[in-house]
Amino acid sequence: MNKKLHAIYIGLFIFVGVTSTLLLAIDGYQYYTTPLVNRFFNPQDSLLNPSGLIGHGLGIVGSLMMIVGVAIYMIRKRVRAFLHWGYLKNWLELHIFLCTLGPIFVLFHTAFKFGGIVAVSFWSMTAVVLSGVIGRFIYVQIPRTIQGQMIGIEELNGINQQLSKRLREEFSVNENLISKIEEASRFAKPQKENLRNSISFMLKDSIRIRRILKNIKKESKAASVPSKEIREIQNTAKSKMILARRVRLLSTMQRFFRHWHIVHLPFAILMFFIMFIHIAVAIVFGYRWIF
């Protein structure tokens, strides 16, 4: 998948996700903001309540999206036969899309009414989604190949040198600035940090990178470097500095990622477990939507 196709791929996800969410939110705003005890009397209740035509449909579609989203990603990731079915990154993006929009649909299915055993499922789902977001963040912090395989520290060092070379050779950056960038992206040994220190470091490092990038822009402008080139210098410098940060936090993030798995998957299992109970109960009691 080339870059443009990927952009359409992602853009489509975002468009569908945002549009669906907005439409549901806008259309149901009046209903969903009605106090629970009064919703029954709302004219939209027959459509939007969890057993309503739309509400029930959202539950079914959302559940299916989550089931599909989890299933295809796990299958792609864990079944050997599918290891070469596209880039794992793209499957992950599909997984994220389906497992983001699915819970949103389920959220509207619940009509923001959280109670009973299914609430456990819901909150599990919420936990899965939130942990997914966090996991995605941690996942990004760990440099990988496009196939999703982790990159070692030596390889990272090579990438860093390539970036330095590019700065020197491709752009007209003065030595002073290069030395500042090099200083800021100096490879440190991966260190074991706890969660608090890691977050603190990341925040401080982000501020530092922003300051340096600002400085690069300022000096490049002073040196009459074209704007386009300035942006490329900034991007290269940023990649270099972020790479350095990730190297420093690599072992920490790898450790967090292992722990994250412990949370993300059981919540997903719990969610599905209760969700199936919920679906089974609904079907047993005759709530079969349009079927």
Partner 1 sequence: MEIKTRIIGKYFSAFLLFLFSATKVFAQISPGNLTYYHAKYEGLSNCTLCHVLGKQIENSRCLSCHTEINSLISQDKGYHASPEVKNKDCWSCHGEHHGRDFRIINFNPKEFDHEVTGFKLDGKHSRIDCIECHRSKFISNPELKERKSTYLGLDKNCITCHEDPHQNTLGTNCSSCHNTEKFKPAANFDHNKTNFILTGAHEKVECSKCHITEKRNRQDFQKFVGLQFSNCTPCHRDVHQKKFGENCKKCHTDVSFKLIKTNSFDHDLTNYPLRGLHVEVSCKNCHGKDLNSRPKHDECVDCHRDYHKGQFTKNNIVTDCSKCHTVEGFKLTTYTIEMHNKTEFELTGSHLAVSCKSCHYAVDSWQFEKIGLKCIDCHKNVHGTELTNQFLPDNKCTVCHSIEGWQKISFDHDKTKFKLLGKHLTVECRACHYTKTHGGLSEGLRRRLAKARSCGEESIFRSLNSDCETCHKDVHYGQFAKGKITDCQRCHGFENWTTTTFDHNRTSFHLTGAHKKLGCVKCHKVVTVNGNTFVKYKLENFKCESCHSS
Least Å distance, CB 123 to partner 1, is 9
Label each residue of the chain as H, E or C. Answer: CCHHHHHHHHHHHHHHHHHHHHHHHHHHHHHHCCCHHHHCCCCCHHHHCCCCHHHHHHHHHHHHHHHHHHHHHHHHHHCHHHCCCCCHHHHHHHHHHHHHHHHHHHHHHHCCCCCCHHHHHHHHHHHHHHHHHHHHHHHHHCCECCCCCECCHHHHHHHHHHHHHHHHHHCCCCHHHHHHHHHHCCCCCCCCCCHHHHHHHHHHHHHHHHHHHHHHHHHHHHCCCCHHHHHHHHHHHHHHHHHHHHHHHHHHHHHHHHHHHHHHHHHHHHHHHHHHHHHHHHHHCCCCCCC
Q: Which is nearer to partner 1, 164 or 251 (CB)?
A: 251
Q: Which is nearer to partner 1, 1 or 281 (CB)?
A: 281
Least Å distance, CB 78 to partner 1, is 19
Q: Which is nearer to partner 1, 163 or 249 (CB)?
A: 249
Q: Which is nearer to partner 1, 79 or 117 (CB)?
A: 117
Least Å distance, CB 40 to partner 1, is 4
User: In degrees rounded to 5, what are phi and psi of residue 144?
Assistant: -135, 165
CB atoms closer than 10 angstroms to residue 277: 14
Hey, which residues between 228 and 287 contact partner 1 (CB under 8 A)?
A: 255, 258-259, 262-263, 266, 270, 274, 277-278, 281, 284-287
Least Å distance, CB 281 to partner 1, is 5
Least Å distance, CB 277 to partner 1, is 7
C-alpha to C-alpha distance for 130 and 62, rounded to whole angstroms: 17
C-alpha to C-alpha distance for 197 and 245, rounded to whole angstroms: 13
- Choosing from 24, 31, 34, 39, the residue that interacts with partner 1 (CB under 8 A) is 39
CA angle in degrees (0–180, nearest 5) for 95-97-103: 95
Q: Which is nearer to partner 1, 67 or 279 (CB)?
A: 279
Q: Which is nearer to partner 1, 118 or 249 (CB)?
A: 118
Least Å distance, CB 45 to partner 1, is 8
Residue 290 binds partner 1 (CB under 8 A): no
C-alpha to C-alpha distance for 267 and 85, rounded to whole angstroms: 27
- Choosing from 36, 79, 146, 150, the residue that interacts with partner 1 (CB under 8 A) is 36
Per-residue contact track with partner 1, 40 to 69, x per CB under 8 A?
xx--------x-------------------
- Choosing from 3, 4, 37, 175, the residue that interacts with partner 1 (CB under 8 A) is 37
How many residues of this chain interact with partner 1, rule: CB under 8 A?
A: 28
Hey, which residues between 102 and 141 contact partner 1 (CB under 8 A)?
A: 113, 115-120
Least Å distance, CB 142 to partner 1, is 16
Q: Which residues bind partner 1 (CB under 8 A)?
A: 36-37, 39-41, 50, 113, 115-120, 255, 258-259, 262-263, 266, 270, 274, 277-278, 281, 284-287
